[in-house]
Structure 1
Amino acid sequence: MRAFGTTAWRLSQGETDLSLSQKLHEEINFELQAAKANAEVPAFLKEFQSSGIWKIEDLEGHDEVALERTFGNETIRVLFSIADIDAPQDPAFEDAEGADEQDAPIPMPPIRCSIIITKGSDQGALSIDALAQDGAIVVDNISFYTNAKLATELTSEADWKRRGLYIGPQFDHLDTNVQEEFERYLDERGIGGDLALFVPDYAEYKEQKEYVKWLQNVKSFIDV
């Protein structure tokens, strides 16, 4: 007479489960070995943390990272997502990547950043859409919200309210002198070349950690 527990276990397994689990195991080992070859905390991250300027908010299992600092009476937050690493790239970026791949390291894709500057809840907020690209912060748009809460809330209701508001002109449509002053304004607040180099490096670092965790979670599920 066949034991019920054995039958239940066999019925819960597909024919491909074992081979998939083995491949996941191989990939996990490969990634962990690669991680061991590198420092536990990368040099770029140690240097960034040692400056003591920005606080990193990074929750395991989430694809978004927040950097926060104060500057005088301002609170500044920079949000970016590791999803941009796997996002489809502009054909021009891919062509340039392919042309130089034998002579130079593969360039990081641009990472979209949302920068929010507030001066208390009743003073409004600047919301800046930008890219961290090729060691520079490239501004796309600067919006002003009279209600700082509306600018900072990450809810569907707040997003719906923002859609009907005037968001300001495209940054490159502004007078050149105004553009230059805005760039100096941001650079003075630490939103410049150093940050533009850090964001893609940290996005890649976090994406690698999340990928290994994803592999482990999927393998555990397959093995149950």
Structure 2
Amino acid sequence: MIRRMIAEESLRYPWRMIASRRSSSGSSSSSSSAAASVAVNSILLRSLKDHYLQVSKMTPPPKVGPPSSFTIVKGALDGSGPVLKRTYGNEEISVSVMRLANIMPEGSENDDENGGINQLFLHVDVAKPGQTKSLHFLCGLYPDALGIHSVSMRPKAENLEAIELPSTYNGPVFQDLDERMRDALHHYIDERGVNELLFPFLQAWVYLKDHRNLMRWFKFVGIFINESS
């Protein structure tokens, strides 16, 4: 790959390669290696800059707000914690989201088609005051439906460091529960506003987070390469 990039560079800027050969004809092998390294770094930096500018010009998705009962967690775009929170009676509901591509291996038949985000995974925690554990739902969210994958009891986020976790029982396989209980759990989470109405906001939010992460990657890799030149 690097050799091909250098070859392309020589076709675009032949005088640079000619000058490089002339200047290195009487130099040591170490100076030749240094010159090659500078050339590779230059090509890589130019490519990173081009991609950064290209990504920066991408049109963001339309601005969408979450359902009125939820509030956006401050700083969520820069972190890996919950995105949305709300209260329901004396309960605190928090919702974290990730796209399918971050869970399933590339090339899986469940990959989002055409690079679109048509399926999201939600981590939903229902916490009550005075309780050391919360009720945790892992859900698949689609434009027109929400499905529960598992239900478990987990330590609250603030108690994770204080509690030692041996191998914990995470509850039965959700599909092994009888239909009546599965329906009741779906109704339970729907009452708390966790349903397909969250999809438009969370879809747009994931697009923005992916875009921001990609921009940062191009930027910080470029800074690292440039400083090591």
For residues 187 and 90 of structure 1, the distance between their equivalents in structure 2, rounded to whole angstroms, comes to 32
For residues 59 and 173 of structure 1, the distance between their equivalents in structure 2, rounded to whole angstroms, comes to 35
Residue 94 of structure 2 is matched in structure 1 by 77
Instruction: Tell me if 1:186 matches 2:204.
Output: no
**SS of the counterpart of 1:217?**
helix
1:28 to 46, 52, 55: 52
**Percent sequence identity over aligned pairs:** 19
Q: Please state how far the C-alpha of 1:17 moved relative to its aligned partner.
A: 0.7
For residues 25 and 154 of structure 1, the distance between their equivalents in structure 2, rounded to whole angstroms, comes to 43
Deviation track 1:88-141 (CA, whole Å, cap 9, x = no partner) reads: 2574335x94xxx6xxxx542533222111111337421112222344221111
Deviation track 1:59-116 (CA, whole Å, cap 9, x = no partner) reads: 555455432111110011112235844842574335x94xxx6xxxx54253322211
**SS of the counterpart of 2:66?**
helix
Distance 1:60 1:142, change over 3 A: closer
For residues 99 and 222 of structure 2, the distance between their equivalents in structure 1, rounded to whole angstroms, comes to 22
1:112 to 107, 121, 138: 121
Residue 7 of structure 2 is matched in structure 1 by none
For residues 200 and 74 of structure 1, the distance between their equivalents in structure 2, rounded to whole angstroms, comes to 25
Residue 110 of structure 2 is matched in structure 1 by 93
Residue 202 of structure 2 is matched in structure 1 by 199
Distance 1:64 1:53, change over 3 A: closer
For residues 72 and 215 of structure 2, the distance between their equivalents in structure 1, rounded to whole angstroms, comes to 25
Residue 131 of structure 2 is matched in structure 1 by 122
For residues 131 and 89 of structure 1, the distance between their equivalents in structure 2, rounded to whole angstroms, comes to 18
Contact 1:137 1:196 in 2 (8 A): no
For residues 117 and 52 of structure 2, the distance between their equivalents in structure 1, rounded to whole angstroms, comes to 24
TM superposition outliers: structure 1 runs of 4+ over 6 Å: none
- Counterpart code for 1:25: K
Q: Please state how far the C-alpha of 1:176 moved relative to its aligned partner.
A: 1.1
Consecutive unaligned residues in structure 2, runs of 5 or more: 1-30
2:157 to 152, 157, 166: 152
Larger radius of gyration: 2
- Counterpart code for 2:149: D
1:140 to 129, 149, 159: 149
Distance 1:18 1:107, change over 3 A: closer
Residue 218 of structure 1 is matched in structure 2 by 221
Q: Please state how far the C-alpha of 1:53 moved relative to its aligned partner.
A: 2.1
- Counterpart code for 2:119: P
CA RMSD of aligned residues (A): 3.2
For residues 191 and 56 of structure 2, the distance between their equivalents in structure 1, rounded to whole angstroms, comes to 39
